[in-house]
Structure 1
């Protein structure tokens, strides 16, 4: 399926990149510059009507970090959002902000294991 870029979300995506949580910054430092098995990840990527935290197009992989204010009290919307993304044949992996901050090795291992299982 085609992944639609919504140019109307470009400004908001830039704002989110400039106001990242500590967990997002820490994980981005591990993913940028093709550090994860040579794959390019983008952060705060608009897809359809949503902005995902991290996206790797060749893998069709989305990584979300939950636990920040923008995700609290939005479980129903998050489920609908994930369902829509999965209909595009994308995989969503979720980590909590706390996991990323305190268990980075485990987070990176989980991402790398997912990649190895699919290549």
Structure 2
């Protein structure tokens, strides 16, 4: 799957390029994101391991019936792997970037905290 991933990284859409500029380099909560990551039989747009999060950006082709069905099958597979899938329309990313980033931030914060709960305080007189 490295071949298709490399090709997709070189041919990013404007929306993918814009979102990547905000996600790369652990800019969001220190979370490491990968772009065009192979997961099972699929290549996802963005993947973050620590919050178990996948972000998919959908262009207009995703509105066609056959693509709606394949997206549903992909989402089902990813959910079975314990991953949360966030889907955004390309136009949302381009026109409402701050709102998209807020939602990604909120989901990362929620899922990283759940995966790594804070340590309980020391018990009084404990060892």
TM-score under structure 1 length normalisation: 0.89
User: Which residue is 2:123 aligned to?
Assistant: none
Moved over 4 A (4+): none
- Note the alpha carbon deviations across 1:5-60, whole angstroms, 9 max, x for none: xxxx1011100010000000000000000001100000000001000000001111
Unaligned runs of 5+ in 2: 114-127
In our comparison, the structure showing a higher alpha carbon Rg is 2
* 1:1-119 correspondence to structure 2 within 5 Å: 9-67=1-59, 69=61, 71-73=62-64, 74-118=67-111, 119=113
How many pairs align?
110
- The alpha-carbon deviation at position 68 of structure 1 amounts to 5.0
Unaligned runs of 5+ in 1: 1-8
How many angstroms apart in 2 are the aligned matches of 1:92 and 1:116? Answer: 15
CA RMSD of aligned residues (A): 1.0
- The alpha-carbon deviation at position 113 of structure 1 amounts to 1.0
TM-score under structure 2 length normalisation: 0.83
